[in-house]
Amino acid sequence: MERVTERVIQFDLARTTVRELNQYLHHQLPSEPSTGEIPHLAILNPNGQHNIAVGVTVPARIDIQGNAGYFVGGMNKHADIVVHGHAGWSVAENIMSGSLRVKGSASECVAASGHGGLVVIEGDASSRCGISMKGCDIVVGGDVGHMSAFMAQAGSLVICGDAGPNLGDSLYEAVIYIRGGIHGLGTDAQEEPLTAHDIEHLGSLLKRAEFAYSPKEFKRVASARTLYHWHVDAGAKY
């Protein structure tokens, strides 16, 4: 820990290691006496380093002032994390609750296996965005790459731009909302009409993500549920 200025705890990763930062977040921060205020941390000079602010289990505001590498905010629980730049692979991997926002774009596997919480990518997301998501909500302001929401089991993926090939391949009960074009749907994914519940839910997600789009501009993609049980005549589809 470098210093406290106006109740903002600053870590400069040009002077401090990521390991020391995470040790503080895992051990010292949870044990500090409560002041009634949510701790606010500023991470300076991240310079694309990996594993920044992983495994946080207490409420905190964490601002990462620059680009982050792989697994930023992984396994997050309760914290609200903002990356003021771009992020690498698997941002918010296995997120449990809280939120993570990337002000720029993100690489592959955004929120892979995410169980809960909200992940917002203000720019574009690369391939396999939302792979195997299990209950989190993801909102992407731009485009997503191929195989996004592959084997997504629960939660919502909102795409304000376009989607690459094989969107929603092997979907389970997750739902995709997309405003732009679809290069191609994956196996067992299909377009469906928006319901009143979809419009209400999507409107809430867009508001939380701070995107001023109308829910009625989006299309709904969900599972046709033809792959829930293996069938010998459909072997080529698996």
Q: Decide: residue 218, CB within 10 A, 0-12 exposed, 13-18 middle, 19+ buried.
A: buried
Return the pLDDT at 6: 44
CB 159 within 8 A of CB 179: yes
Residue 69 falls inside a structural domain: yes
| Lowest mean pLDDT, pick from 32-36, 68-72, 111-115, 219-223 | 32-36
pLDDT one-digit tens code per residue, 93-138: 999 999 999 999 999 999 999 999 999 999 999 999 999 999 999 9
Residue 26 falls inside a structural domain: no
Q: How many residues does the chain have?
A: 238
Q: Work out how many domains the chain is built from and give that number.
A: 1
Mean pLDDT estimate for the chain: 93
Residue 143 falls inside a structural domain: yes
Residue 53 falls inside a structural domain: yes
CB 151 within 8 A of CB 128: no
In terms of residue numbers, what domain contains 125? 43-237
Residue 221 falls inside a structural domain: yes
pLDDT one-digit tens code per residue, 44-67: 999 999 999 999 999 999 999 999
Residue 202 falls inside a structural domain: yes
Q: What is the mean pLDDT of residues 144-162?
A: 98
Residue 14 falls inside a structural domain: no
Smallest CA-to-CA distance from 78 within 102, 96, 94 is with 96
pTM, full prediction: 0.93
Beta strands in the chain (DSSP E): 3-5, 8-12, 40-44, 61-65, 80-83, 99-102, 118-121, 134-140, 154-159, 175-178, 189-192, 219-223
Distance CA 76, CA 123 (A): 21
Residue 2 falls inside a structural domain: no
Return the CATH number at 83: 2.160.20.60
Distance CA 215, CA 204 (A): 9
What is the H or E stretch that residue 29 is in?
Answer: helix 29-31
Report the percentage of the chain scoring pLDDT > 70.
Answer: 93
